[in-house]
Amino acid sequence: MRVDAVPETQPFEGFTPWPADFAERYRQAGYWLGETFGEWLHARAERFGDRIALVGEKRRLSYRELDARASQLAAGFLGLGIRPRDRVVVQLPNVVEFFEVCFALFRLGALPVLALPAHRRSEISYFCQFTEAVAYVIADKDGGFDYRTLAAEIRAEAPTVKHVLVAGEPGLFTALEGLYGESAALPETTPGDVAFFQLSGGSTGVPKLIPRTHDDYLYSVRASAEICALDADSVYLAALPAAHNFTLSSPGSLGVLDAGGRVVLSRRPSPDEAFLWIEKERVTVTSVVPPLCAVWLEAARNTRHDLSSLRLLQVGGSKLSAEVARRVRGTFGCTLQQVFGMAEGLVNYTRFDDPEDVIIETQGRPISRDDEVRVVDDDDRDVEVGEVGHLLTRGPYTIRGYYKATAHNEKAFTRDGFYRTGDLVRRTPSGHLVVEGRAKDQINRGGEKIAAEEIENHVLAHPAVRDAALVAMPDAFLGERSCVFVVAREQPPAAREVTAFLRARGLASYKIPDRIEFIDDLPKTSVGKVDKKALRRWIADKIAPKGQ
């Protein structure tokens, strides 16, 4: 069977490319090498051959095997009728199949939509419908949850999904294992084309999709691997979800594969499991969110596992407190690296040769000389170094627009293409960034992002609710938790009942409000908007330990 390549000139609908002069500049500068993921993996297989690329619970795969398996699976996908640019929602835990599936789709030019294992009906159904996905890839079960039950619901809601492909026991669906076929002739893919979608933490009613190209993503991977000095002896532990931008590319699994190292996949981030892997595989580098860092630090004090192989602990996703940061070197005997990144692009790292106080107190500086960073006031005027302002950025791996989101893109990007990150930062004279807060209407629950409007819409769907506002409340462990203020129509429902209602709507657990406060009316600002600042202050006061 022959399938023609998508002509390079045919733009992908809903994708905002970089303007031609920028694209040219990024190619000239050697950032965009004109290489696709398929070619990249093939080149790694040629170079690193029988070295181990991936270690999972049940399987170890060499570079050559990964390359071959990706081609065989791509042939299987093609046999099912999956075509270049078709969208496929991929929701897999940290298993070897995650990489086989992604690389097979890359090779075919089909586009993975990288969902997280925590997502449930509400999110997955939306991704499938919005992207008109033709297939949905899951594991049979993970963490006590049966994804096949979820898939049955998705099939009923998203008619474009023709195939549910299962890693493990397929039940009523199709076993992934049966699809690895004879390698077939595959269509050409184009390096400047979209390769896959990341998901935005978001601040709007529905999650936004982030189109990343082969060229831009591979640049961020290569440059990150270099900053982190990865080489063929690097062993990376993927403890956080493999699909997240941090774990995947900062430098993450792909960075380690770029360097010829080994990626170890932990099903769970708990110290029990992660420490076992660190000892067994002599892990040299891993990445965690701040609450997990705190848990690991506690557990490391009296662990029986040998963690001495660890050379670099990366912490990012939400703000790391200086107190926790200071304990890393003493406890693990390794270097701490702060990582401040976003699925939309820009990633900042503290560097190995940064002074200790910079590593402890800043969130790093950008990957690239061509990452343009502006810190501005409410009127988009640049503020002085050292002053807090909104972070705007543009560069060789930061998107120019969300997928199919014309109206939102007008607000989320400046006219000249800077992405409005929604983060409030301060720039130090050395060019490092310190995250001081957030202007976007989002809760950062220990690295997991919750868009306030999305949850408010769900709460408002409850028949007894007249108004709702979700805000962050401080939390010693997670940094923030979520609190929803609810105005009832008449008799307020029981908090338990609201929670059950939200669960029944198929929301990911981390999005279920941690606390519900009933209130007579939402406070308003002088222009009539909900005064979330007042709500945040009120709840912070209410939960503050007394007598302080």
From 365, 449, 458, 532, residue interacting with ligand OOB (rule: CB under 6 A): 449
From 278, 347, 508, 535, residue interacting with ligand OOB (rule: CB under 6 A): 347
From 112, 291, 317, 396, residue interacting with ligand OOB (rule: CB under 6 A): 317
How far is it, in rounded angstroms, from Cα 465 to Cα 489? 5
Q: Does 343 sit near ligand OOB (CB under 6 A)?
A: yes
From 115, 134, 166, 342, residue interacting with ligand OOB (rule: CB under 6 A): 342
Q: Does 91 sit near ligand OOB (CB under 6 A)?
A: no
Q: Segment near ligand OOB (CB under 6 A), from 67-75, 130-138, 334-342, 489-497?
A: 334-342
Lookup: tokens for 148: 């096949």
Q: In the complex, what is the shortest distance from the CB of residue 31 to ligand OOB, in angstroms, rounded to a whole number?
A: 18
Q: Are 368 and 393 in contact (CB under 8 A)?
A: no
- The DSSP H or E segment spanning 544 is none
Lookup: tokens for 78: 């093609």
How many Å is the Cα radius of gyration of the chain?
23
Q: Alpha carbon 411 to chain centroid distance? A: 22
Produce one character per residue of 7-16: b if its CB has 16 or more CB atoms within 10 Å, e if not: eeeeebebbb
Q: Would you say 293 or 498 has its CB closer to ligand OOB?
A: 293
Q: Segment near ligand OOB (CB under 6 A), from 119-127, 332-340, 502-510, 530-538?
A: 332-340
Q: Does 253 sit near ligand OOB (CB under 6 A)?
A: no
Q: In the complex, what is the shortest distance from the CB of residue 342 to ligand OOB, in angstroms, rounded to a whole number?
A: 4
Q: Segment near ligand OOB (CB under 6 A), from 36-44, 220-228, 338-346, 455-463?
A: 338-346
Q: Does 318 sit near ligand OOB (CB under 6 A)?
A: yes
Q: Are 282 and 263 in contact (CB under 8 A)?
A: no
Lookup: tokens for 158: 């998203």
Q: Are 360 and 326 in contact (CB under 8 A)?
A: yes
Lookup: tokens for 224: 């990150």
Of 102, 87, 98, 126, which Cα lies nearest the Cα of 508?
A: 126
Q: Would you say 153 or 226 has its CB closer to ligand OOB?
A: 226
Q: Segment near ligand OOB (CB under 6 A), from 13-21, 108-116, 310-318, 486-494?
A: 310-318
Which position's Cβ is nearest ligand OOB?
341
CA dihedral 357, 363, 368, 369 (to 10 degrees): -60
Q: Would you say 61 or 259 has its CB closer to ligand OOB?
A: 259
Q: Would you say 255 or 316 has its CB closer to ligand OOB?
A: 316
Q: Does 255 sit near ligand OOB (CB under 6 A)?
A: no
Q: In the complex, what is the shortest distance from the CB of residue 387 to ligand OOB, in angstroms, rounded to a whole number?
A: 18
Q: Does 339 sit near ligand OOB (CB under 6 A)?
A: yes
Q: Which residues contact 91 (CB under 8 A, 6 or more apart)?
A: 115, 116, 117, 119, 124, 136, 137, 138, 139, 147
Q: Does 89 sit near ligand OOB (CB under 6 A)?
A: no
Cβ-based neighbour number of residue 401 at 10 Å: 22
The amino acid sitting at 322 is A
Q: Does 401 sit near ligand OOB (CB under 6 A)?
A: no
Q: Which residues contact 315 (CB under 8 A, 6 or more apart)?
A: 287, 288, 289, 290, 293, 325, 328, 336, 337, 338, 339
Q: In the complex, what is the shortest distance from the CB of residue 506 to ligand OOB, in angstroms, rounded to a whole number?
A: 21
- The DSSP symbol for 168 reads S
Q: How far is CA 315 from CA 195, 247, 308, 318, in A?
A: 27, 11, 18, 8
Q: Does 363 sit near ligand OOB (CB under 6 A)?
A: yes
Hey, which residues between 411 and 440 contact ligand OOB (CB under 6 A)?
Answer: 421, 423, 435, 438
From 77, 98, 147, 340, residue interacting with ligand OOB (rule: CB under 6 A): 340
Of 414, 69, 486, 373, which Cα lies nearest the Cα of 60?
A: 69
End-to-end CA distance of the chain: 73
Hey, which residues between 190 and 209 contact ligand OOB (CB under 6 A)?
Answer: 201
Q: Does 125 sit near ligand OOB (CB under 6 A)?
A: no
3-state SS, residue 177: helix
From 131, 250, 284, 398, residue interacting with ligand OOB (rule: CB under 6 A): 250
From 76, 341, 396, 493, residue interacting with ligand OOB (rule: CB under 6 A): 341
Q: Does 104 sit near ligand OOB (CB under 6 A)?
A: no
Q: Would you say 279 or 436 has its CB closer to ligand OOB?
A: 436
The amino acid sitting at 177 is E
From 316, 345, 395, 417, residue interacting with ligand OOB (rule: CB under 6 A): 316
Q: Does 269 sit near ligand OOB (CB under 6 A)?
A: no
Q: How many residues bind ligand OOB (CB under 6 A)?
A: 22
CA within 13 Å, CB half, 359? 20
* Binding interface with ligand OOB (CB under 6 A): 201, 245-246, 250, 316-319, 338-343, 347, 363, 421, 423, 435, 438, 444, 449
